Amino acid sequence: MRETVSKFINPSELAQIGDLQLLARTVVSGLGAGIHRSLHTGTSAEFAQYRPYTQGDDLRFVDWRLYGRTDRLHVKQYQDESNVHATVLLDCSASMGYGSGAVSKFRYAQMLAACLVMMMSDQHDVVGFAAYHHDLVTHIPARRQAGQMHRLLLAIDERAPVGAKTDTAGVLQFMGDVLPPRGVVVLIADLLHPIDEMLGHLRSLRAQRHDVLVLQISDPAEQTFPFDRSITLVDSEDGREQFAVPDDVRETYLENRSRHFETIREACLASEIDVEEFVCSEPLDKALHHFMHRRNHGLLTNSRRQSRGGGRR
Amino acid sequence: MSFLVPLFFAGLGLLIVPWLVHRIRRPERETVRFSSLMFVPNVQREVIERRRLQHILLMLLRMALLALLVLAFTRPFQEVVLGANVSDGEMTHHVILLDASLSMSGDEVWMAAKRQAVAILDDVKTGDRVGLIRFAQQARVDVPLTEDVAWIRQAIEGAHWTWEKGDDLVGLQAAADMLAGEQDAQRVVHLVSDFQATGLPEVETGWALPGHIKLHPVVIGQGDWHNASVDALALRPVGQKALQVRARIKNWQGSEALKVNLWLDDKMVDTKTFSVAPGHASQVRFDVAEGVLQGFVEVGNRDGLLGDNRQYFTHQPAPKHRVLVLQSGVLYPLMQAVVPDGADLPWQIVRTTNLVSDLSDHPAVVVAGSVGASEWRGLKTYVEAGGHLFLPLEKEADVDLLNQLLQGSGVQVQALALEQKQVPLSWVDLKHRIFYPFRGAQFNDFSSIRYTGYHRVRVEKGTVLARFEGDDVMMVEAQIGQGRVLIWAGGLALNRSNLARSPRFVPLIHETLRYLSGEQVDPPSWGVGDVVAGVVMDKPGVHQLADGRWVAVNVAVAESDPRQVTPSEFEIRMCEAPVLYRKGDAEAASVVGSDLVLEEYGYWFLCMMFGALLLEHGYAAWLELYSKQEQV
């Protein structure tokens, strides 16, 4: 990556763009490649792999040069930028409304979701959207129809972090029931809830050959617990109050948090699920660029390579 | 319990400070909405409550600390009956301690003192015993303890002040001695005094009036009388035949315009008028002709204390001492030094080449050159009998004979040793009387005096007065019998040293002879109460002694100082169990016979405050450590 920091847009400036579509376009315009590659091989300019020739294969794809060298027939396969069913899940719980800076986690998540929707639409994917907190509040199934992207962006924009509880597991279970297999599921959430059940449903989605992306949204204050004076903390979801002396509890807090997300990361890695943390203070385009780079170069998981051609499962 | 300075209770307002500090520093209960508390460890309520209690306790401790400090400043006290725990007997023994020092000599002051002393008698009950002591520099028991009040009254009426300096310690000790044997009664010392500050001992003596004796201070006068005094007086020679009388006049308080008279032989010969601001002093000079003088300098103004207005002086030219110079050969520098042309020196030089048979007329003998064995024996007898010998060691000195003279003195002389180089003097004892005139910075460097040869002197007991560089002895004083020998190891010869050519030579020889000839420097004057030639000087003036000498006796300058101490200050200094008076010193002092005294407890509160301070520090430190260790 040869970009410089100055090239990126500050989230607080980005958030001032009222039109989500324009915002997403602004971010996505510089990113280039799509969010995913097709799981299916097809006709395109990008070579994918060789496969031994079987009866019925199109002779146009036989690599005669290879035949000359190996005396065996092989067929060239190309990656196809095909249109998959992608669904973006957005956590609308109240905890997402927290923000120590100019941009809350939810606004950041909105911008991220908009960008992803735009990127996948540009990739001619069929994109759907779902918003949830303790219940599913919005579900726009993926459809190939005019105005779908606009509808999605509108739905993303009109959501607010209001949920008194988060039920990610329930939503994932629902999606596993309704989504056709071999799609892309993007979960945008802060993951601040018990995770055992959620991980089970993530694994179920993977079992349905979905390409699952977990995009965790964090606030800088959550990462460092920067308070210096004794405070009474109020849980943004259930309103529970708790007295805390920051100097006393900081270490334990950071340990607990690190353990929580490490558990998620390890579980996702084991299930070949991409996990990426987005911090509200980071420029969105930079974070996305970074994420895309890591994903396209297999730095997140090796799921793409392993699942290619049906995977090992 | 009551309080001497209840105004300090206003300081209790300071108690709000710890509360404010704790309020400010209390963990803020600022409410912050946070995304989720799932990672925030739960602080148990007991821990919070415990911490709260701990901090409240710390705050209370700090408030108590301040309260104790305020209480200490309010000077809490309790009325106690002083004699209650001493004796249950009804009888009381009184000692009237009457300050008869010069400062009490003012007519009004002395009469007031006597009136107060008589007033004390009015409160004496039947069966009580009373004693009367007048004190100044000495204590005088005018009447021992007696039940005869009339006798006491009569003694008081006839009592007179003295010219002496007041010494409160002497008076109180005499009173304590008088009451020492009276165990079966309450004991009270009525101190009738002006409580002059100079009457207290200058240094801590370690003695205090025992706690079982009650002190009843009766303050006379308020120390506000006008007073000027002759503070110091000295006679200084001016030229060969004239003297100057210099007097320092101090205006303690009162009028600035002062008139000072000089009296000689009972005639006022000069008067000077000048102005001195109160609290300041000024010098006045009178020129008089040299001769036998007797007189005094007097402040002509009438003031509250006339006794200190005069200082007497006498002047008599001292008789010349005979100094024998035993000279063999020519010793030019010495003779030039001791017999300078036209100089009027305090000694009479007798030059001889042979030892005269009777040396007792000569307080000092100078031996310059070689002396025979028989003469050495004569000199030894002379010194052992109390004579003083000055021995500048020349080349021809017979060391063996000299050591026989010095036998037993701890000093031994060796033969003359010539040095390869000039050896300077490195040290002289400037504290010795011979070197007094050389103490000034421009005179005290003797390193310019150098020798190329000298006798080495071993000293075991004598007093070394000067040394060469390298630590050899140049000048030593040895005691032989009743007399002294002063040895100059380098001698005076011009060919071995530059001493005789030095400007220090003549003064040094003169001081040496003055020292050895035993010239006595009498003090300029004696004080009242001093014993001079076996006679106690009881009043100021010019007195003639039995030997015909005239001495000037003056009053103590300290008596002129009008500064007073309060009875409370006095008791703190002089009493084992000082008590402080609630109604103010002056008023309490006038309450004759009062048994109620007030014991203060402020010190206890101060001690408790310091204890609380230590406790607070320890507790705060422990609390901080505990908080850090506590896993919440």
Q: Which contiguous run of DSSP H or E holds residue A254? A: helix A246-270
φ, ψ at A60 (rounded to 5°): -65, -25
Determine contact: B34 vs chain A, CB below 8 A. yes
Determine contact: B266 vs chain A, CB below 8 A. no
Tell me which residue has tokens 């084991």: A270
Task: Report d(CA B294, CA B310) in Å as an integer.
Answer: 13
Burial A61-78 (b: 16+ CB within 10 A, else e): eebeeeeeeeeeebbebe
Alpha helices in B464-551 (DSSP H): 505-516
The pLDDT score that the predictor gives to residue A313 is: 31
Q: For B566, which DSSP code?
A: -
Q: Distances in Å between the alpha carbon of A18 and those of A15, A26, A147, B457, B460?
A: 7, 12, 19, 113, 110
Task: Report d(CA B270, CA B260) in Å as an integer.
Answer: 8
CATH 3.40.50.410 domain extents, chain A: 5-38+83-310
Q: pLDDT-derived band of residue A205, with 50, 70 and 90 as boundaries?
A: very high
Q: Which contiguous run of DSSP H or E holds residue B464? A: strand B463-468
Summarize pLDDT for B71-80 with one digit per residue, the tens.
888 888 876 6
Contacting residues for B594 by C-beta, under 8 A, at least 6 apart: B216, B588
Mean pLDDT across chain B, nearest whole number?
A: 83
Strands of B310-315's sheet in order across:
B267-275, B257-264, B293-299, B310-315
Whether the complex's predicted ipTM is more than 0.90 is answered with: no
The pLDDT score that the predictor gives to residue A201 is: 92
The pLDDT score that the predictor gives to residue A128 is: 92
Summarize pLDDT for B369-403 with one digit per residue, the tens.
777 777 888 888 888 888 888 888 888 788 888 88
Residue A253, classed as helix, strand or coil, is: helix
Task: Report d(CA A272, CA B286) in Å as an integer.
Answer: 121
Q: pLDDT-derived band of residue A43, with 50, 70 and 90 as boundaries?
A: low
The pLDDT score that the predictor gives to residue B329 is: 62
* Contact between chains at B35 and A192 (C-beta distance less than 8 A): yes
Minimum-distance CB partner of A231 among B30, B36, B48:
B30
Q: How many CB atoms lie within 10 A of CB A298?
A: 12
Strand pairing class (B388-392; B483-488)? parallel
Domain regions of chain B by residue span = 2-33+44-74+602-629, 81-223+563-597, 227-317+524-559, 321-516
**Residue B68 CB-density burial (10 A; 0-12 exposed, 13-18 middle, 19+ buried):** buried
Q: pLDDT-derived band of residue A132, with 50, 70 and 90 as boundaries?
A: very high
Q: Distances in Å between the alpha carbon of A106 and those of A88, A157, B577?
A: 14, 10, 82
Summarize pLDDT for A134-181 with one digit per residue, the tens.
888 889 988 888 888 889 999 998 889 987 788 999 999 999 988 888
Strand pairing class (B473-480; B463-468)? antiparallel
Matching fold, domains B81-223+563-597 and B227-317+524-559: no
Determine the residue type at B425: L
The pLDDT score that the predictor gives to residue B168 is: 93
Q: Of the candidates A231, A257, A264, which has an alpha carbon nearest to the alpha carbon of residue B38?
A: A257
CATH code assigned to B81-223+563-597: 3.40.50.410
Q: Which residues of B touch A245 (CB under 8 A)?
A: 27, 43, 632
The alpha-carbon radius of gyration of chain A (Å, integer) is 21
* Contact between chains at A231 and B39 (C-beta distance less than 8 A): no
* Contact between chains at B36 and A95 (C-beta distance less than 8 A): yes
Q: How many CB atoms lie within 10 A of CB B77?
A: 20
DSSP string of B309-337, one letter each residue: SEEEEEE-PPPPEEEEEEE-S--HHHHHH
Minimum-distance CB partner of B40 among A96, A219, A244:
A244
The pLDDT score that the predictor gives to residue B84 is: 39
Indicate whether B191 pLDDT > 70. yes
Q: For B471, which DSSP code?
A: S
Task: Report d(CA A115, CA B613) in Å as an integer.
Answer: 66
Residues on A contacting B at a C-beta cutoff of 8 Å: 95-96, 98, 105, 190, 192-193, 219, 221-222, 227, 229-237, 240-245, 248-249, 252-254, 256-257, 260
Residue B597, classed as helix, strand or coil, is: strand
Cβ–Cβ under 8 Å, residues B263 and B279: no
The pLDDT score that the predictor gives to residue B487 is: 92
Task: Report d(CA B300, CA B297) in Å as an integer.
Answer: 9
Fold classified for A5-38+83-310: Rossmann fold (3.40.50)
Q: For A190, which DSSP code?
A: -
Indicate whether B406 pLDDT > 60. yes
Minimum-distance CB partner of A237 among B36, B40, B627:
B36
Q: Of the candidates B281, B273, B279, which has an alpha carbon nearest to the alpha carbon of residue B247?
A: B281
**Residue B322, both tokens:** 């005979």
Determine contact: B38 vs chain A, CB below 8 A. yes
A165 to chain B: closest CA residue: B36
**Residue B127, both tokens:** 């069966």
Fold classified for B321-516: Rossmann fold (3.40.50)
Task: Report d(CA A110, CA A153) in Å as an integer.
Answer: 9
CATH code assigned to B227-317+524-559: 2.60.40.10
Look at A14-23, A61-70, B88-97, B239-248 and tell me which has the smallest mean pLDDT. Answer: A14-23
Determine the residue type at A223: Q
Q: Of the candidates B199, B195, B214, which has an alpha carbon nearest to the alpha carbon of residue B83?
A: B214
